[in-house]
């Protein structure tokens, strides 16, 4: 039998009368969602509609029927507050306020808390501090001190939040908050994140880790020094390594209170995670918006069927090989001949389309496809009437070949079950409306190889949608576009080269190389590959660390 620490009860008893009386006085307005603001702590503010503000987060709560308001740390928490929101305090919370929070949660309240790493711009609650002890014991969520570091990070990128960009992946847990991101393989953009610990078995609660990234968390605060900073290197026994959790939910099984804790506050801020595409209301980072909406619904304890639908203007197709979410989307190409007697490799028809980022294909065979199925494509990527690229995809890997050099494609996906479903980035397939040739074969090693079943001229018409997973290129540095207007991607390192495309401020690209001088960098997106002037990008690495591309 676990015993709760006595200090909590002592603080609670000393404050309970003040809390109840003050709460009863607050009768002018019923507040369901209360944002905490405190200028001394430089917290993100719901009254600030600037880049660091929380007005878009407040709008998400309002769209779900909640009224919103704010109080200071010295104010009592209103009795009717269903959710308290505390984003980016840059100093530790006082014992007095922690006691108020504890009393509020003991009465079944809910809390959204986002704390940035210790040392990166501030010194919020640390490991073994008051917040950590309260939530660790009651809910199984522990704060850790590390800054999650990618291999290409530099001291400049760890000191600058906007350059500390990392894509966090949805954790494979059975929880409605994270389920769409798991189903549709959608990452969440973070900026300067700290890691947490989520313990499924805790004395009074059950915690679920929502987001993760693989790597290590640098715990030495001396990495932020401007002069002679400590090296960025994993230290065995000091720095957490492996799968790092940076977002968690927990529910207290005794009082049914709920908490959502994140190691990154920018997920919820106006011009970071909740920024729209310039000139539109479409989310720039669909994963961040969906996460914020579903966390808000869960904290408000709304029935799942009443949660906000997934944002429109996006393609929501799960690459699982079931085809249940396709309806009649895309164009149908029928294979007119039976080219093989092996039913699992006999292509009957292909349904396909392309959005602004990917080509989607659904291949139906005469019998359930073999899980060792391999698809081979002939592509006319530059739409000049001639095949210039071949592509191979199976459950193990995807490669394309242009000339003699095969290249891995980390952001392609395949699902094999009742049908075969495929998602391929446009930078590989090209933006044409037809795949010249598609063949189905097997990845098994056979003593007597058989001829693949092929279908010609597969139609992939354009639909007016974006993809929620706008960037899935793995194991590479990232950069964010910084400009007042659209900027050009060019075919080479200089303004004399042709324009490949233009992209908007705030978009994220993968950075794969540079020219010898370092004033131009080679980038990739799902749609394009080309070159950009390095002055137009905020890199989460240094240009000097990129490989030189001839």
Which pLDDT does position 17 carry in this prediction?
35
| 440: pLDDT strictly greater than 50 | yes
- Pairwise CA distance, residues 543 & 536, whole Å: 13
> What number is the average pLDDT over the span 526-548?
95
Which pLDDT does position 31 carry in this prediction?
59
Which pLDDT does position 26 carry in this prediction?
35
Domains in the chain with CATH codes: 6-306 (3.40.50.880), 331-459 (2.60.40.1190), 477-545 (2.30.30.40)
Which pLDDT does position 340 carry in this prediction?
78
Which pLDDT does position 19 carry in this prediction?
43
The set of residues, in sequence order, having a beta carbon less than 8 Å from that of 447 and lying 6+ positions away, is none
Q: Per residue in 71-97, pLDDT tens?
A: 998 888 998 899 999 999 999 998 999
Task: Tell me the pLDDT of the chain averaged across its residues.
Answer: 90
H or E element that contains 360: strand 358-365
For helices 6-25 and 95-106, the axis angle rounded to 10 degrees is: 80
| 227: pLDDT strictly greater than 50 | yes
Question: In 225-338, which residue ranges form alpha helices assigned H by DSSP?
Answer: 286-299
Render 246-270 in DSSP notation, one character per residue: EEEEEEETTT--EEEEES-SGGGST
Percent of the chain exceeding pLDDT 70 equals: 94
Which pLDDT does position 121 carry in this prediction?
83
What's the distance, CA 508 to chain centroid? Answer: 12
| 428: pLDDT strictly greater than 90 | yes
Q: How confident is the model at residue 185 (pLDDT cuts 50, 70, 90)?
A: very high
The set of residues, in sequence order, having a beta carbon less than 8 Å from that of 305 and lying 6+ positions away, is none
Look at 172-176, 248-252, 483-487, 517-521 and tell me which has the smallest mean pLDDT.
483-487
**pTM score of the predicted model:** 0.92
Q: Per residue in 26-78, pLDDT tens?
A: 333 455 999 999 888 889 999 999 999 999 999 999 999 999 999 998 888 99
Which pLDDT does position 35 carry in this prediction?
96
| 234: pLDDT strictly greater than 80 | yes
Render 12-40 in DSSP notation, one character per residue: HHHHHHHHHHHHHH--SS--SEEEEE-GG
Provide φ and ψ at 426, rounded to 5°.
Answer: -65, -25
> What number is the average pLDDT over the span 286-301?
97
| 356: pLDDT strictly greater than 90 | yes
In this structure, the number of other CB atoms found within 10 A of the CB of residue 379 comes to 24
Percent of the chain exceeding pLDDT 90 equals: 77
| 456: pLDDT strictly greater than 50 | yes
| 14: pLDDT strictly greater than 90 | no
> What number is the average pLDDT over the span 219-237?
91
Q: How confident is the model at residue 206 (pLDDT cuts 50, 70, 90)?
A: confident
Q: Per residue in 380-411, pLDDT tens?
A: 988 888 999 999 999 999 999 987 888 999 99
Q: Per residue in 490-522, pLDDT tens?
A: 999 999 999 999 998 999 999 999 999 999 999
Look at 145-159, 420-434, 436-450 and tell me which has the smallest mean pLDDT.
436-450
Which pLDDT does position 49 carry in this prediction?
93
Q: Per residue in 113-145, pLDDT tens?
A: 999 999 998 889 999 999 999 888 889 999 999
Strand duo 389-393 + 398-402: pairing: antiparallel
Coil, helix or strand at residue 139? helix
């Amino acid at each position: 039998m676990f015993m709760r620490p006595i200090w909590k009860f002592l603080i609670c008893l000393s404050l309970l009368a003040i809390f109840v009386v003050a709460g009863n006085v607050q009768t002018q307005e019923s507040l369901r969602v209360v944002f905490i603001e405190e200028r001394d702590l430089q917290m993100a503010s719901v009254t600030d509609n600037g880049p660091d503000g929380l007005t878009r987060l407040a709008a998400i709560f309002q769209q779900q029927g909640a009224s919103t308001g704010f109080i200071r740390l010295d104010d009592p928490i209103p009795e009717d507050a269903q959710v308290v929101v505390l984003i980016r305090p840059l100093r530790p919370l006082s014992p007095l306020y922690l006691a108020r929070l504890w009393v509020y949660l003991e009465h079944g309240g809910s809390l959204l808390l986002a704390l940035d790493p210790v040392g990166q711009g501030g010194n919020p609650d640390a490991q073994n501090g008051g917040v950590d002890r309260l939530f660790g014991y009651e809910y199984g969520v522990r704060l850790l001190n590390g800054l999650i570091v990618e291999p290409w990070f530099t001291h400049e990128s760890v000191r600058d939040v906007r350059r500390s960009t990392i894509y966090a992946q949805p954790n494979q847990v059975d929880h409605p908050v994270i389920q769409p991101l798991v189903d549709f393989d959608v990452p969440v953009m973070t900026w300067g994140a700290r890691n947490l610990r989520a313990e499924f078995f805790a004395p009074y609660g059950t915690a679920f880790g929502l987001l993760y990234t693989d790597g290590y968390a640098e715990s030495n605060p001396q990495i932020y020094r401007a002069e002679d900073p400590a090296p960025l290197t994993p230290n065995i026994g000091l720095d957490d390594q492996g799968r790092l959790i940076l977002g968690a939910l927990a529910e207290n099984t005794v009082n049914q209170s709920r908490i959502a804790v994140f190691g990154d506050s920018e997920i919820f801020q106006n011009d970071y995670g909740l920024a729209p595409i310039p000139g539109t209301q479409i989310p720039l980072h669909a994963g961040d918006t969906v996460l914020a909406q579903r966390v808000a619904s869960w904290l408000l304890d709304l029935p799942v069927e009443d949660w906000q639908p997934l944002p429109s203007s996006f393609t929501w197709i799960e690459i699982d090989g079931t085809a249940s979410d396709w309806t009649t989307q895309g164009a149908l190409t029928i294979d007119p001949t039976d080219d093989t007697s092996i039913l699992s490799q006999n292509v009957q028809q292909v349904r396909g389309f392309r959005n602004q980022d990917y080509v989607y294909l659904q291949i139906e065979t005469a019998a359930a496809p073999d899980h060792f199925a391999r698809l081979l494509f002939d592509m006319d990527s530059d739409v000049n009437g001639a095949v210039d690229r071949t592509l191979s995809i199976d459950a193990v890997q995807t490669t394309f070949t242009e000339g003699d050099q095969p290249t891995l494609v980390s952001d392609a996906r395949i699902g094999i079950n009742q049908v075969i479903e495929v998602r391929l980035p446009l930078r590989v397939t090209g933006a044409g409306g037809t795949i010249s040739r598609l063949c189905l074969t097997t990845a098994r090693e056979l003593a007597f190889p058989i001829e693949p079943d092929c279908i010609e001229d597969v139609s992939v018409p354009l639909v007016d949608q974006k993809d929620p997973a706008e960037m899935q290129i793995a194991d590479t540095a990232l950069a964010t576009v910084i400009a007042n207007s659209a900027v050009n991607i060019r075919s080479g390192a200089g303004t004399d080269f042709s324009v490949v495309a233009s992209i908007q401020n705030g978009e994220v690209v993968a950075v794969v190389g540079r020219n010898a001088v370092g004033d131009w960098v080679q980038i990739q997106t799902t749609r394009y590959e080309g070159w950009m002037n390095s002055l137009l990008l905020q890199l989460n690495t240094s240009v000097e660390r990129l490989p030189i591309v001839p």
